[in-house]
Amino acid sequence: MASRSVNKVILIGHLGKDAETKFTTGGAAKTSFTLATNRRWKDQQTGEFKEETDWHNIVLWRQENVATYLTKGKQVYVEGRLQTRSYEDKENQKRYFTEVVADDVILLGGRGESGADASVDQRTAASQRGPQPVPRPPAAAPDAPIASDDDVPF
């Protein structure tokens, strides 16, 4: 059984900022956002409740119309896999970046929170908005790693 492995991530949290969609040189959409998850526990020695927040970098490929739904503070369910990439920074130092490559993103919460049906997920968001003009790819920041077609996991 040594040949079997699992790389699966399931998160429920709140978006730290609005999602951002960029395009590769080949035209593939890459939507990125950060997700905050909280953990709360009672300290055994002091009896006080403590809380810790973890931040996760999420990437969603080929879903250019979902960024309008993924706004700061929204609660979402994310299911996907971990991926670690590396790049060289300005000082030629090798940097590693771990992110969750999402397969499913589902908005949580009621209608009052988003004004839309809370069951909208990545497969139906585009069809509910209807045809939209394709925005031009934004210019990349000079120090940010550039997404290429090689980054697309399929």
What are 43-69's pLDDT values in tens digits? 888 889 999 999 999 998 987 778 888
pLDDT for 143 beyond 90: no
Name the helix (H) or strand (E) containing 114: helix 111-114
pLDDT for 131 beyond 50: no
Give the integer Cα–Cα distance in Å for 45 and 114.
41
Give the integer Cα–Cα distance in Å for 107 and 13.
10
pLDDT for 119 beyond 90: no
Instruction: Report helix, strand or coil for 28.
Output: coil
Give the integer Cα–Cα distance in Å for 11 and 9.
7
pTM: 0.64
pLDDT for 82 beyond 90: yes
CA distances to 54, 97, 99, 100 from 81, rounded to whole Å, are 17, 14, 8, 5
- Average of per-residue pLDDT values in the chain: 77
Give residue for tokens 């980054």: 151
pLDDT at 122: 41
Give the integer Cα–Cα distance in Å for 52 and 134.
39
Give the integer Cα–Cα distance in Å for 119 and 98.
28
pLDDT at 110: 56
Fill in the DSSP letter of residue 1: -
- Domain borders along the chain are 9-129
Q: Which CATH number fits domain 9-129: 3.30.360.10, 2.160.10.10, 2.40.50.140, 2.30.30.60?
A: 2.40.50.140
More confident residue, 19 or 152: 19
Average the pLDDT over each of 56-60, 89-93, 125-129, 138-142 and give the range with the smallest value. 125-129
Question: Per-residue confidence at 76, pLDDT binned at 50, 70, 90?
Answer: very high
9-48 confidence digits (pLDDT tens)? 999 999 999 988 888 888 888 889 999 999 998 888 888 9
